Chain A
Amino acid sequence: MANKVFAWLDERLGLTTIYNTVLDRKVPKVNWWFTLGSASAILFALQAVTGMFLTIYYVPSPGQAYDSIQFIMNGVAFGWLIRGIHHWGASLMVIFVFMHMLRTFYYAAYKYPREFTWITGVILFLTTLGMGFTGYLLPWNQRAYWATTVGTEIAGTVPFIGPFINSVLRGGTDLSAVTLTRFFAVHIWFLPAVIGALIGVHIYMVIKLGISHVPDKED
Chain B
Amino acid sequence: MTDQLVITGVSKRFGGIVANESISLSVPQGSITGMIGPNGSGKTTLFNSIVGHHPVDGGSITFEGREITRLRVPQIARLGMIRTFQQTRIFGKMTCMQNMAISDADHGYGLMALLKPVSGETRDRSEALLEFCGLHSKRHLLAGDLSFGQQKLLEFAMALMIRPRMLLLDEPTAGINPTLINGLIERLIRVNQDLGITLFVIEHNMRVIMNMAENIHCLAYGKLLASGAPDDIRNDQRVIDAYLGGH
| Mutual binders A and B | no
A residues near B (Cβ < 8 Å) are none
Residues on B facing A (Cβ under 8 Å): none
